[in-house]
Amino acid sequence: MNKEAEVKLVQTPAKKRKKRSHSLERKTARGGYLFTLPFIIGFIVIYLPVVFESFLYSVTTIERINAGESYQLIWAGLANYREALFSDPNYVQILTAGLRQLVLDVPAILIFSLFIAVLLNQKMVGRAAFRAIFFVPVILSTGLIAQIDTSNTSLMSYMSDTEGIGTNAAKSTSVAEIVSAMDIEYLFSNMKIGGGMAKYVSQILNNIYNIVNRSGVQMLIFLAGLQSISPAIYESCNVEGASAWETFWKITFPMISPMILVNFIYTIIDAFTSSTNSVMSYINQVYGEAGKDTLSVAMAWIYFAIVIVFVLLAAALMSAFVFYQRRD
């Protein structure tokens, strides 16, 4: 009798605790599902079918029946892909040019945005004003405005001497290129670096408006990363007598490296939606032509597949050099 009572006394709290922890676990799990429910529903009902159908359209042709009220898919196999790669006169050419442009632009955007983020992170007079100015393109130079800017190219060729920053300047005849290719070649010839590099740098400098416009979000992400580095590390570096250059390469760069990876992927994905993307604008043009909409889908998938393979390879390579600080 006594023994039984004792056993009961011992058992009950254990049982209770177990039960409660179980219910709490279930409660938090239920909360998690409830909060993410919109995304789960959307992903299953809209997103997955859309991605799947996009694949499906790339191997079919669409025939609208019943006066456009419904449609029929006709199996076409790899015909769309074959047409994109072998029959279309422009696609492969534009694709290679676009990919080359992407490879050239991405490092420039990354380096520029990191550089500016480091500058804007320092304490100085007018920092808030500079930050406000640097984020103007993120808010104001997207979508419609970028479209207007690119449509100004006819204006540009009309005023051939405003190649540099006046890309969308209606009235800037007095502004010449910021830096001419000659200057850069002269600089680099003294440094014994090849002409290709000089050409690349001068190209970037004259395209700087475009690069500044496209590096706003990256700058924000880098700034956030820089803010999260503890000032104590810099202090101890200073005490040990490290120069600013050493501090950057030994502290800032490794600490910011996860952000570099994030920004690398973001930049490439962002390039898809950029109005200066020649491949996407060509695909849009094909999409607009009658009866070629599924061809444009195949083209988009080819482009996306190449880029994503490139991104994954580069990300795998970069992740070996990324430094993660353990904060426990």
Partner 1 sequence: MNNAQTEVKVKRETKNKIRVEFDRTPFWQRMKAKFINKNFLTKLIWAIFRYVILIGISYIILFPFFTKISSSFMGPEDFVDATVKLIPKNFTFDTYKYIFLENKYMQALGNTALLSVSAALLQTFVCAMIGYGLAKFKFRGNKILFLLVIFSMIIPHQTLQLSLFMKFRYFDVLGIIQLLGGGSSWFPWFNVTGGTTSINLTNTYIPLAMLSATGLAFKNGLYIFMMRQFYRGVPNELEESAYIDGSGIFKTFLKIILPLSIPMMITIFLFAFSWQWTDTFYTSLFFTRTSIVLMKNVIAIPESLNITYAGSNMYNAAIRNTCGLMIIAPLVVIYLFCQRYLIQGIERSGMTAD
List the interface residues with partner 1, window 238-277 (CB under 8 A).
244, 258-259, 261-262, 265-266, 269, 272-273
d(CA 72, CA 66): 10
Candidates 19, 21, 47, 313: give the one binding partner 1 (CB under 8 A).
Answer: 47
Residue 220 makes contact with partner 1 by CB under 8 A = yes
Site for partner 1 in 84-143 (CB under 8 A): 116, 119-120, 122, 124, 128, 130-140, 142-143
Looking at residue 324, the DSSP 8-state letter turns out to be -
> C-beta of 1: minimal distance to partner 1 in Å?
39
Q: Give whichever of 62 and 79 is closer to partner 1, judged by the CB atom.
A: 62
Residue 158 makes contact with partner 1 by CB under 8 A = yes
Nearest to 75 by CA among 55, 59, 89: 59
Q: Give whichever of 1 and 125 is closer to partner 1, judged by the CB atom.
A: 125
- Beta-carbon count within 10 A of 266 CB: 16
Q: Give whichever of 91 and 209 is closer to partner 1, judged by the CB atom.
A: 209
- Beta-carbon count within 10 A of 135 CB: 16
DSSP string, 106-140: HHHHHHHHHHHHHHHHS--TTHHHHHHHHTHHHHH
> C-beta of 5: minimal distance to partner 1 in Å?
32
d(CA 174, CA 54): 49
Distances (CA, A) of 297 to 12, 85, 171, 283, 289: 64, 13, 40, 8, 13
Choose the stretch contacting partner 1; rule: CB under 8 A; options: 13-21, 97-105, 194-202, 205-213.
Answer: 205-213
Residue 166 makes contact with partner 1 by CB under 8 A = yes
Partner residues linked to 63 by β-bridges: 72
> C-beta of 108: minimal distance to partner 1 in Å?
14
Q: Give whichever of 103 and 140 is closer to partner 1, judged by the CB atom.
A: 140
Partner residues linked to 75 by β-bridges: 60
Candidates 83, 163, 185, 293: give the one binding partner 1 (CB under 8 A).
Answer: 293
d(CA 188, CA 297): 44
Candidates 106, 212, 264, 267: give the one binding partner 1 (CB under 8 A).
Answer: 212
Residue 27 makes contact with partner 1 by CB under 8 A = yes
Site for partner 1 in 60-89 (CB under 8 A): 62, 66, 69-71
